[in-house]
């Protein structure tokens, strides 16, 4: 049984359709990426999974069935718009949130000590939250998400505001949770983190599913939709190219769906002042795929994302 | 139930953990006690028989001249210092003294005073306010000389120097306090209840908006049903209100041993039956206003925006405070009775009437039933507002949105999506 299964869910706010017939499954013990540009409907989808919002239509199954109060205590959630009680002591806040998740105070106290030590926050436990740095507050939020050892962890932009050291720490903890058999749904804009961590992803845009499957398979499917060029000259504004970016001495071109790399090559050959030293059909990064799919979808929708 | 208890505990701990709470809890009674003592001192100074001259003396900021052509003033009452009046043989000499700034005014009692009753007051500078100043001192001197009886003349200034106050309210003991208590007790009671209900009610507003502002609401909603959150907050802050009242009552009872007469007679109103009525009205009054302010908090994105509307919400409770004199002068009058039976103003009005006068037994009961029913209605209404889409909304609180929410229409984030 999948840990989360949502089937054809839709949700509107007034005349805005925030989620439109979205379906996906999240298997037990996997890290699943819920991706999409800002305003795509990710947060609404998460809130529907968490029973904060009821869908207008469709089915949601979480931890083998409908979500009830007991099951809610088996979920850890790190929302994108996060915050803690700023005028209260760190320890008090975390214990309150832990006990609200069904933990006994003694157990919460004991486990909190371990987490605080691990995150280097133990000596700050009696400080008010507002006295902590942004990074410390971020780590405290992650403790609040994991303190009650949830079976399903939903993290929205977990690396936001963290330095490279703490980013690595959080990454390790996410992997550690997966090894412990927990299911993780991660929403982030950092595609390299998704590539590094996620088994499968769903990409939503304008409330609809536009891409869904295993990361490796998706990359294979999109091979040919990106080329790498080494050379000199102007490689911008080529027909059928969605985005051109320079990485070191290479040019990375993300192609529109349906554009053949040979067409790009021909266009380059016809352009004046171009010298090509290397032209390679690349395996696209998730970043390229994200841009390719979202921009392509926007063009179909007639939306200008700037 | 466990979650509600956790929220209750958290609200109590959070509130009483604030320094501002304790400052307010202890400062407010200190202010009341200071007011009581101040009033008592004023009362003793102002109304004591032997101090009539003190009042009169206060009028005589400078030496007053007297030209007595009628030969009326043969003596000064013993409580009027002789140096306050400087006599002149004729108007010319008084006028010279006035022009030389030796005095700023003089009275001329013309020869035909006994026929006309006219006295002329000549002042050095014209001041519109001078016309408003009292001539009690001089009238007292004239009366004493006309009647030939100083005590009688004093009574003409203050005909009821020994007024005895017998409060008719149930169980309230009579005290001789020159009428100070009859004003102070109702006023203090009303102020205390207003402060208690508005303070704790506004704590509810702040508590909800803070969780929205600091963005803890979304995490809380995964652990709690919105209505559990509302119930926990309402009950937690109710306990805080009762704690605050207990501290004030306890402090009041302790102060009964000491303090002045006014304070003691004020505290005599704290009879068991009154305390029970007061508790009942406080509990329902708090729940009524806290639920309204909590609903306001659920709609407002920030405490500041919520506070803009909180004055309007508190207005029905504030009106009796503005009209407080009716509760002293006519506690069983039509307006006072209406305000004490009208549920939104009952929490302060009925309790104030109970300490002011004997209230017909049916009225506190009817008032409390009306208040309880209204409270239930507003709690149910507030529960409609306590739902995820309003609690997670950052839309501005406007009159249109407030009205829309009241009518159950779509808010700015969309149609209501009620949780459970």
The mean of the pLDDT values for chain B is: 77
Nearest-CA distance B175 → chain A (Å): 48
CB pairs under 8 A between A and B: 71
Among A50, A83, A92, beta carbon nearest to B216: A83
Q: Which of the pair, A103 or B101, is modelled with greater confidence?
A: A103
DSSP letter assigned to residue A78: E
Partners of residue B392 in chain A, C-beta under 8 Å: 47, 52
Instruction: Compute the distance between CA of residue A245 and CA of residue A205 in angstroms, rounded to an integer.
Output: 23
Residue ranges of A 73-92 with Cβ closer than 8 A to chain B: 73, 75, 77, 79, 81-88, 92
Nearest-CA distance A119 → chain B (Å): 21
Among B216, B392, B414, beta carbon nearest to A12: B414
Find the mean pLDDT for residues A12-17: 84
Handedness of CA A100, A103, A109, A114 (dihedral sign): negative
Bridge partners of A17? Answer: A12
Whether pLDDT at B413 is above 50: no
CB contact under 8 A, A81 and B218: yes
Instruction: Compute the distance between CA of residue A227 and CA of residue A252 in angstroms, rounded to an integer.
Output: 6
What confidence category does residue B420 fall into, taking pLDDT thresholds of 50, 70 and 90?
very low
Among A16, A69, A81, beta carbon nearest to B215: A81
Nearest-CA distance A178 → chain B (Å): 22
The answer to whether residue A51 neighbours chain B at the CB level (below 8 Å) is yes
CB contact under 8 A, A77 and B219: yes
CB contact under 8 A, A72 and B214: no
Nearest-CA distance A193 → chain B (Å): 24
Find the mean pLDDT for residues A70-92: 87
Q: Which pLDDT score is estimated for A302?
A: 58
What confidence category does residue A116 fall into, taking pLDDT thresholds of 50, 70 and 90?
very high
CB contact under 8 A, A84 and B214: yes
Among B13, B211, B413, beta carbon nearest to A13: B413
The percentage of chain A sitting over the pLDDT mark of 70, rounded to a whole number, equals 96
Residue B100 to residues A76, B90, B122, Cα–Cα distance (Å) = 91, 16, 14
The answer to whether residue B214 neighbours chain A at the CB level (below 8 Å) is yes
Q: Three-state SS for A83?
A: coil
Helices within A83-232 (DSSP H only): 90-100, 105-118, 134-146, 164-179, 191-197, 215-221
Q: Which pLDDT score is estimated for B172?
A: 44
Q: Which of the pair, A169 or B218, is modelled with greater confidence?
A: A169
Partners of residue A53 in chain B, C-beta under 8 Å: 388-389, 417
Q: Which of the pair, B127 or A278, is modelled with greater confidence?
A: A278
Q: Which burial class, exposed, middle or buried, applies to B215 when counting CB atoms under 10 A from its CB (0-12, 13-18, 19+)?
A: middle
CB contact under 8 A, B219 and A52: no
Partners of residue B17 in chain A, C-beta under 8 Å: 88
Q: Which burial class, exposed, middle or buried, applies to A212 when counting CB atoms under 10 A from its CB (0-12, 13-18, 19+)?
A: middle
The answer to whether residue A295 neighbours chain B at the CB level (below 8 Å) is no
Q: Considering only A35-39, A117-121, A153-157, A197-201, which range has the smallest mean pLDDT? A: A35-39
Residue spans of the domains in chain B: they are 2-42+173-386, 52-157
Single pTM value for the model: 0.67
Partners of residue A92 in chain B, C-beta under 8 Å: 13
CATH of domain B52-157: 3.40.190
Helices within A162-222 (DSSP H only): 164-179, 191-197, 215-221
Nearest to B243, CA basis, from B8, B37, B36: B8
What's the alpha-carbon Rg for chain A, to the nearest Å? Answer: 22
The mean of the pLDDT values for chain A is: 86
CB contact under 8 A, B419 and A54: yes
């Amino acid at each position: 049984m999948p840990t989360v299964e949502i089937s054809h869910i839709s949700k509107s706010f007034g005349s805005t359709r925030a989620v439109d017939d979205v379906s996906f499954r999240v298997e037990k013990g996997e890290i699943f990426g819920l991706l999409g540009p800002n305003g795509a409907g990710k947060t609404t989808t998460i809130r529907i999974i968490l029973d904060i919002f009821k869908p207008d239509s469709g089915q949601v199954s979480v931890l083998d069935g409908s979500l009830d109060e007991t099951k809610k205590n088996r979920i850890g959630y790190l929302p994108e718009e996060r915050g803690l009680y700023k005028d209260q002591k760190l320890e008090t806040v975390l214990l309150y949130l832990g006990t609200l998740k069904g933990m006994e105070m003694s157990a919460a106290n004991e486990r909190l000590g371990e987490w605080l030590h691990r995150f280097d926050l133990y000596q700050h436990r009696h400080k008010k939250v507002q006295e902590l740095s942004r990074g410390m507050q971020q780590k405290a939020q992650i403790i609040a998400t994991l303190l009650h050892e949830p079976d399903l962890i939903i993290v929205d932009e977990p690396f936001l505001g963290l330095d490279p050291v703490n980013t690595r720490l959080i990454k390790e903890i996410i992997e550690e949770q997966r090894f412990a058999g927990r299911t993780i749904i991660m929403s982030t804009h950092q595609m390299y983190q998704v590539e590094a961590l996620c088994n499968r992803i769903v990409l939503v845009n304008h409330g609809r599913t536009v891409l869904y499957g295993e990361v490796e398979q998706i990359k294979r499917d999109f091979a040919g939709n990106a080329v790498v060029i080494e050379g000199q000259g102007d490689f911008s504004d080529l027909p059928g190219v969605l985005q051109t970016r320079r990485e070191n001495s290479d040019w990375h071109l993300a192609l529109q769906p349906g554009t053949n790399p040979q067409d790009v090559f021909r266009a380059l050959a016809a352009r004046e002042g171009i010298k090509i030293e290397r032209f390679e059909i690349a395996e696209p990064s998730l970043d390229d795929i994200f841009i390719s799919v979202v921009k392509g979808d926007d063009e179909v929708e007639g939306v200008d994302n700037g | 139930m466990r979650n509600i208890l956790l929220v209750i505990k958290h609200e109590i701990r959070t509130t009483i953990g604030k320094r501002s709470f304790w400052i307010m809890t202890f400062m407010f009674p200190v202010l009341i006690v200071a007011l009581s003592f101040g009033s008592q001192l004023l009362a003793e100074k102002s109304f004591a028989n032997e101090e009539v001259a003190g009042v009169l003396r206060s009028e005589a900021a400078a030496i007053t001249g007297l030209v007595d052509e009628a030969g009326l003033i043969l003596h000064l009452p013993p409580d009027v210092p002789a140096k306050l009046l400087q006599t002149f043989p004729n108007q010319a000499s008084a006028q010279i003294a006035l022009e030389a700034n030796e005095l700023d005014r003089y009275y001329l009692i013309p020869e035909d005073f006994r026929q006309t009753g006219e006295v002329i007051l000549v002042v050095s500078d014209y001041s519109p306010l001078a016309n408003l100043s009292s001539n009690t001192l001089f009238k007292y001197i004239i009366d004493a000389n006309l009647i030939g009886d100083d005590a009688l003349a004093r009574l003409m200034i203050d005909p009821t120097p020994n007024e005895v106050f017998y409060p008719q309210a149930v169980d309230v003991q009579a005290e001789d306090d020159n009428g100070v208590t009859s004003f102070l007790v109702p006023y203090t009671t009303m102020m205390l209840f207003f402060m208690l209900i508005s303070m704790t009610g506004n704590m509810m507003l702040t508590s909800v908006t803070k969780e929205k502002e600091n963005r803890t609401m979304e995490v809380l909603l995964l652990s709690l049903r919105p209505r559990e959150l509302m119930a926990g907050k309402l009950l937690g802050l109710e306990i805080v209100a009762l704690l605050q009242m207990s501290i004030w009552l306890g402090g009041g009872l302790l102060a009964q041993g000491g303090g002045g007469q006014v304070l003691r007679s004020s505290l005599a109103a704290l009879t068991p039956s009154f305390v029970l009525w007061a508790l009942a009205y406080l509990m329902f009054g708090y729940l009524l206003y806290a639920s309204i302010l909590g609903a306001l908090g659920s709609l407002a994105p920030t405490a500041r925006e919520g506070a803009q509307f909180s004055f309007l919400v508190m207005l029905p409770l504030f009106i009796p405070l503005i009209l407080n004199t009716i509760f002293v002068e006519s506690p069983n009058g039509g307006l006072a009775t209406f305000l004490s039976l009208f549920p939104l103003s009952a929490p302060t009005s009925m309790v104030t009437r109970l300490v002011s006068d004997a209230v017909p037994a049916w009225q506190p009961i009817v008032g409390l039933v009306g208040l309880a029913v209204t409270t239930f209605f507003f709690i149910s209404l507030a529960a409609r507002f306590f739902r995820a889409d309003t609690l997670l909304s950052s839309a501005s609180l406007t009159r249109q949105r407030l009205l829309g929410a009241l009518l159950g229409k779509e808010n700015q984030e969309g149609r209501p999506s009620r949780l459970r």
